[in-house]
Amino acid sequence: MMGSDPARQRLLRIVDANINRAREGLRVCEDLVRFGLEAPAQFRRLRTLRHDLNAALRSLPVKAVEAVASRDSARDPGRRSPGSSSVRSLEHLLLINLQRVKEALRVLEEASRLLAPRQTARFQALRFRTYDVERDLLRRVAALRHR
């Protein structure tokens, strides 16, 4: 675990942002798959992934209040950055959010090396499961287009 308070606060700020990014991205994907693709099995996979992420997060030596306390949204340099390009379809929105989840999981994986090295493999496994879900969803979307 990290020692100095300022360094820990900076790391917790990174962790907090990526916890939110991963959870939000998974929730968007869940809803797109549930209501947009109407794919119950894929929806359950995403929901399970989100629940497993929450379990992995509980294994970190960080209290939720500590992570939230590290936020400084008002001074976040990325807060006012321009939005991404326009979204062309529900499928495109799904891909954008899956990418967001994978990136956030990678950051959490790397941060866990400092916070709880024994948990790093857990975050890596979540990232690789996300790759598998993405692959299967892309196949489903492609199959729907060719009906």
Segment 33-42 long-range contacts (CB within 8 Å, at least 24 positions apart):
33/94, 33/137, 36/90, 36/94, 37/90, 37/94, 37/137, 37/140, 37/141, 37/144, 39/137, 39/140, 42/133, 42/136, 42/137, 42/140
Residue 121 belongs to domain spanning: 5-73+88-145
pLDDT less than 50: residues of the chain? none
pLDDT at residue number 86: 85
**Is 49 inside a domain boundary?**
yes
**Is 82 inside a domain boundary?**
no
pLDDT at residue number 93: 94
Count how many domains the chain has: 1
Secondary structure tally for the chain: helices H, strands E: 5, 0
**Is 78 inside a domain boundary?**
no
Cβ-contact 18, 104 below 8 angstroms? yes
**Is 80 inside a domain boundary?**
no
**Is 26 inside a domain boundary?**
yes
Can you give the pTM of this predicted structure?
A: 0.88
pLDDT at residue number 58: 94
**Is 79 inside a domain boundary?**
no
pLDDT at residue number 3: 54
pLDDT at residue number 77: 72
pLDDT at residue number 67: 81
pLDDT at residue number 2: 55
**Is 83 inside a domain boundary?**
no
Secondary structure of residue 88 in the 3-state scheme = coil
Count CA atoms within 13 Å of residue 23 on its CB side.
12
**Is 103 inside a domain boundary?**
yes
pLDDT at residue number 81: 67
Sole residue written with tokens 């892309």: 138
